[in-house]
Chain A
């Protein structure tokens, strides 16, 4: 019997700071037991985020160049190094309570399974490269970055970023995921046809529901509005 879970699909590109703040608030509420497990699926405007392991020299562009291109840089509280989010990339933030004895490794494998399953539905064969790094890969190229933090060692924060028809030139600005000798790709590049976020999202939702054994219901409007309102403020 699947557990009920909320699905949030805030419309439009959601500014990073707003989404980040709303995500943290939801995680606190999840930890308090006020809300069920939740999956947030959205897109961001261009942003480079630096995890705790990111080194300054892994941002190859100076801040002014980033800004000139319409992007921003944010240091955030997840692990890992630099990554990029932007239009054409499906970002998923699962807010899941892993319980008092969390299995973070297992959780990351499940996220990979979700992305692998969704891509398979779209006819794209991708795989994990556990020996290299968490994420989903096609050969030596990463199609989906995964970076996670736990709130108080039990509720998940951050998540995955699946390149659908992302403008991959942005990745030239960073040593993506701290791996200089690895490339980045997208589903569109892999298939040679435009695969938009809207086309991928239903597959990701299905794969996630199946892998995490949840039945999605739409989150209450005020929860979704939190993202929009926050976006306005930002």
Chain B
């Protein structure tokens, strides 16, 4: 029970502390994100944060725990429960030269600020010629038994708006490097943190103050020759687990982590398809009109003559994320589903 509470977040009461790096220097995704924010706040005093319960309480997932003590309430600003206002404040202050980082307790609630995000934030630079260096941070994704209001993957909605860079990292180092890049970027960006990864995945994370991961660059997380699994977010970890199991059976899967989903790195995807000739596009946003739909279409357009089999998508159906654990497991692509899909592709 306690594990579920931690994973699904605990706005306002009882969330576990963020924790610290291990003795051997390994950091969780949660810690890596906090480090990125801390370092950028230290580096540039125009950077400030706003959001619900981020100050005194330290954030629903404790990402900003302790920040208010160091940077004060003017730069770690608690707001009312009013997402549209949070976005509006971020936009207005960015117009005046600040570099706001707004936190949403759950990515699901960003839609309460939908109009400000999609009609103001995404277009203002075009309309007025004024850059908006705004970062919107939000925990997204399912698999943590948090039901349909705390589990969604909203990246397709906001990618569709155009004008907003959207990152969905899978590893602590990528999360840290990408978030720092986002804060330094003059364009509006959305940084979606997968809560299944928060405390589960840890690794050695660079400590150099200028460690950055370029936006819109994908990474091959595992080399393979038979089938390319193009994915991002928590699905990267499922794909890697499946690839390991497939390797035992002699099937070599390559795992491409998009890291940034809009605009994404087509070249790395295409290079992988040229190598394997088989594409499985795996994603946690809904199958219909999801991020992977675009990737699949791009592969079909640009790598047609490199394909030895149809491009296959594996993604959840367009239904609410179920609360029942067996149903949620059936809803999300599982390791066995990925293995089966790769097997079918390899044998096509």
> Would A and B touch once assembled, by the CB under 8 A criterion?
no
